[in-house]
Structure 1
Amino acid sequence: MPTPDDGSKQGATWPMPKFRFEVDLGTELTGVAFQEVSGMDVENQVIEYRKSNSPLFSTEKMPGIKKYGNVTMKRGVFVNDNTFWNWHAQVSMNTIARRTVLIKLLDEGGNVTMQWQLNNAWPTKITSTDLKSDGNEVAVDTIEIAHEQLIITNGKAAS
């Protein structure tokens, strides 16, 4: 009778847990700990076209331009840490401090197993923490980042 696969034998494959990750925001901002990262998506716009001599009374659907959603990141507020605000202050009309942002999913040993690279990234919005006199939660800031390309590396090539 075969034994159930409990993951204890060599070669067992399991999905990666998503709770251990780090973010490099560029230059001096490496290995930043975030509470949450979301919005790493890409979609192709649909182009509908109908040839004039087509016997079908419908359009053909073709892939168009890729569109990337904004990435939202949340992290705790620390004393004397104005990382988000300093980066956002560099944004002015038609002048943007673009960076390469790396989001790294880590294994139990702290090794990179998957990486999302956001090219030409810049902050579009910062939301500061809410304040409540009867609350006991950690203060959390949120940053929304626009980017022009998402490159995903999976496996040992990620670093």
Structure 2
Amino acid sequence: MNSSKKRFIFASVLGVILFANPLASFSNVSKNDSSARAQVLSKGTEVKFSAYISENFSKFSKKSEWSVIERIVTQYSLSPSKLLSTPETDRVAFLKAVKSLNTKLNRQRGEEAIQWTRDLNKTVQQVQFIWNFDMNSLTPVVFETPLYVAPTAPAL
């Protein structure tokens, strides 16, 4: 009886200590990390990004470069797997347009431009990952292994 009381008291004190002083979780640590705040431009954020570009870069938004970016990002948002069928010319045009837009965004001052730059770069990384993904490299490698026969147990 005495040992069960001690166990109960120990467990209670340990529980209070652990819950009263929580460890820093990943979300608390990465709150100030700039890369952790970047979001992929999808599921509605690409519309906000488009509005931001139209408002702040009206000349750029009328160029064909912007239409390429908008088309690829929208396609990524709707169905990322369809990006695999993107022609090579569109891929090159997209990367060139993103480079041009990044230079324009970097000239802007303000936290909003910095955040949109991060979001755009993260989206470009995701798109490039899909484009560079090779299904053939995922095939398992078959190794020829010698047959191992387990020794039989002696009969009793």
Q: TM over 0.5: same fold? A: no
Larger radius of gyration: 2
State the TM-score, normalizing by the size of structure 1: 0.24
State the TM-score, normalizing by the size of structure 2: 0.24
Flag the structure with higher helix content. 2
Flag the structure with higher strand content. 1
